[in-house]
């Protein structure tokens, strides 16, 4: 399975390249970005996924997309789903 299908995006050959085509994760097993659990091996997996994101030329774009679309699962833009929830909560507090 192509990595991008995990993010709800199917690459197409008949349109301009999307930022996702530049993702450092495009040749990485997509399962890396979906650790199961919150302890032990899952934490190590989370750090490995985060390391891929931190080497990615489109990390900030991906991170903003994940926040804007309220992506519920997986690590994207170097953030876990839980971190995205906390980030949105902080933004709401700041705005009010
Ligand atoms: S930031 Fe991470 S999840 Fe997003 S495109 Fe880059 S490597 Fe993939």
Q: How many angstroms is it from 84 CA to the middle of ligand 1?
A: 14
> Would you give the distance in Å from CA 59 to the centre of its chain?
8
* Domain segments of the chain as ranges: 20-95
Residues 4, 10 contacting (CB under 8 angstroms): yes
Q: Ligand 1 pocket, 66 CB below 6 A?
A: no
Q: Whose CA is nearest to atom 5 of ligand 1?
A: 23
Half-sphere exposure of residue 3: CA atoms within 13 angstroms, side-chain side: 19
Smallest CA-to-CA distance from 23 within 50, 51, 62 is with 62
Model pTM greater than 0.75?
yes
pLDDT digits (tens, 9 = 90+) for 10-42: 555 555 568 888 999 999 999 999 999 989 999
Q: How many angstroms is it from 75 CA to the middle of ligand 1?
A: 8
Mean pLDDT of the chain: 87
Query: In the predicted model, is pLDDT for residue 66 greater than 70?
Result: yes
């Amino acid at each position: 399975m192509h990595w991008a299908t995990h993010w709800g995006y199917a690459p197409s050959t008949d349109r301009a390249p999307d930022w996702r085509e530049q993702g450092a994760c495009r040749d990485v097993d997509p399962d890396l970005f979906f650790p199961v659990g919150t302890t032990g091996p899952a934490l190590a997996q989370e750090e490995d996924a985060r390391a891929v994101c931190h080497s990615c030329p489109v990390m900030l774009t991906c991170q903003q997309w994940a926040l804007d679309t309220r992506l519920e699962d997986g690590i994207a833009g170097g953030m876990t789903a839980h971190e995205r929830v906390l980030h949105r909560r902080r933004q709401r507090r700041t705005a009010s």
